[in-house]
Amino acid sequence: VRKIGILTSGGDAPGMNAAIRAVTRVALANGIEVVGIRDGYRGLVEGTFEAYSKTSVSDILDRGGTKLGSARLPEFKDPEVQEMAVNQLKANGIEAIVVIGGDGSYRGAQALTKLGINCIGIPGTIDNDIPGTDFTIGFDTALRTCVDAVDKLRDTSSSHHRCSVVEVMGNRCGDLAVYTAVSCGAEIVVSPETGYDELDILEKLRYLDTAVHKNHAIVIISEKITDADGLARKISQNTGFSGRATVLGHIQRGGSPSPTDRILASRMGEKAVDLLMNDIGGHCVGIIDNKIISMPIDEALNRPKASRKHLYRLFDRLI
């Protein structure tokens, strides 16, 4: 392969820049030309390409977000739009692409591979909701942000006999919630894996107040499970705690990537280029049992997500 493109798609995540840098530098070191593609599949269709040199990716390793910009282009599901992208690539001599994004972005990569452009997917999202890997780029940084926020809330909650309900992201994946809960010694965790049982939550909090005499409590909930403000109100009305909701929101997506994410992104970027050099397309890169692996995107999308049952059990044992 002589010339490859790189794009970031879907929601941005800290560490995407480290992956862009790794793909660029490993490719250039192997004599492969690299083209940066702006704004995900939109830039691919519109042909917003920029030739990258080693210095194009200088000073981005420690920066959150993505230098290439990200966008959603729902029309990319349309075969005619995919054909336009292929024509742009052929006109510019780009033979293969590395796509950094989520499972939607993987589907786009798979479609392009079927049309003759080898694509490799790299999992980038703070939600850790992509199959085919234990961890995604950005998850560790977001987890640090959540832990930092909950530690601070704990300080103020304990001064006021308060129960903090903290909503974290995850897009129907409870990993940010359960990892935060175990890291912070939360009292309750509510995620897609645990399900939402309001009466049970209120009962537990009443017990913690009256029998255990806790002077504060932290409830970590995944987004999209329930309204955090509504739950906080019910806690104030039905338990001895004063309930307060904090929705961490988009601060979880920002910040300088953690060393763990920088290393993960660099290793995954290297692997993606190695695969393309071996003429492999339609695969995604992952880390499983701390080994960098790859598998066909089809296979990844049909795999169950890594189980966190052991962490939920540990959480229960630690309260």
- When binding is defined by CB under 6 A, the residue of 101, 243, 281, 282 that contacts ligand ATP is 101
Nearer residue to ligand ATP within complex by CB, 185 or 249? 249
117 burial (CB, 10 Å; 0-12 / 13-18 / 19+) is buried
Asked if residues 112 and 83 have their Cβ atoms less than 8 Å apart, the reply is no
Q: How many CB atoms lie within 10 A of CB 153?
A: 20
Nearer residue to ligand ATP within complex by CB, 63 or 72? 72
Q: Which stretch binds ligand ATP (CB under 6 A): 5-13, 139-147, 270-278, 289-297?
A: 5-13
Rounded distance between C-alpha atoms, residue 126 and residue 261, angstroms: 10
- Coil vs helix vs strand at 28: helix
Q: Which stretch binds ligand ATP (CB under 6 A): 6-14, 47-55, 211-219, 242-250?
A: 6-14
Rounded to a whole number of angstroms, the minimum distance from the CB of residue 74 to ligand ATP is 5
The DSSP code for 124 is B
Q: Which stretch binds ligand ATP (CB under 6 A): 54-62, 66-74, 176-184, 293-301?
A: 66-74
Nearer residue to ligand ATP within complex by CB, 124 or 243? 124
The DSSP code for 57 is G
* 188-205: b (≥16 Cβ within 10 Å) or e: bbbbbbbeeeeeebbebb
Nearer residue to ligand ATP within complex by CB, 239 or 294? 294
239 is in an annotated binding site: no
- When binding is defined by CB under 6 A, the residue of 76, 139, 312, 315 that contacts ligand ATP is 76
- List the beta bridge partners of residue 311: none
Q: How far is CA 315 from CA 143, 309, 319, in A?
A: 16, 10, 7
Is there a catalytic annotation at residue 274?
Answer: no
Catalytic residue among 12, 39, 127, 261: 127
Rounded distance between C-alpha atoms, residue 36 and residue 54, angstroms: 12
In the bound state, the residue with its beta carbon closest to ligand ATP is 104
Rounded to a whole number of angstroms, the minimum distance from the CB of residue 39 to ligand ATP is 10
- When binding is defined by CB under 6 A, the residue of 3, 63, 67, 72 that contacts ligand ATP is 72
The residue behind tokens 């939600």 is 127
30 is in an annotated binding site: no
Binding status of residue 74 toward ligand ATP by CB under 6 A: yes
Cα-Cα-Cα-Cα dihedral of 291, 256, 315, 189, to 10°? -130
Q: Which stretch binds ligand ATP (CB under 6 A): 16-24, 47-55, 104-112, 207-215?
A: 104-112
Rounded to a whole number of angstroms, the minimum distance from the CB of residue 162 to ligand ATP is 33
Rounded to a whole number of angstroms, the minimum distance from the CB of residue 186 to ligand ATP is 25
Chain centroid, CA 121 distance in Å: 13
DSSP percent split of the chain into helix, strand, coil, nearest 5 = 45, 20, 35
Q: For residue 49, which of 94, 79, 109 has the smallest C-alpha distance? A: 94
Binding status of residue 107 toward ligand ATP by CB under 6 A: yes
Rounded to a whole number of angstroms, the minimum distance from the CB of residue 73 to ligand ATP is 4
- When binding is defined by CB under 6 A, the residue of 2, 54, 77, 224 that contacts ligand ATP is 77
Q: How many CB atoms lie within 10 A of CB 58?
A: 10
Asked if residues 318 and 184 have their Cβ atoms less than 8 Å apart, the reply is no
Q: Binders of ligand ATP among 20-39, rule CB under 6 A?
A: none
- When binding is defined by CB under 6 A, the residue of 125, 133, 145, 266 that contacts ligand ATP is 125
Q: Interface residues with ligand ATP (CB under 6 A)?
A: 9-11, 41, 72-74, 76-77, 101-105, 107-108, 111, 125
The residues annotated with a catalytic role in the active site are 127
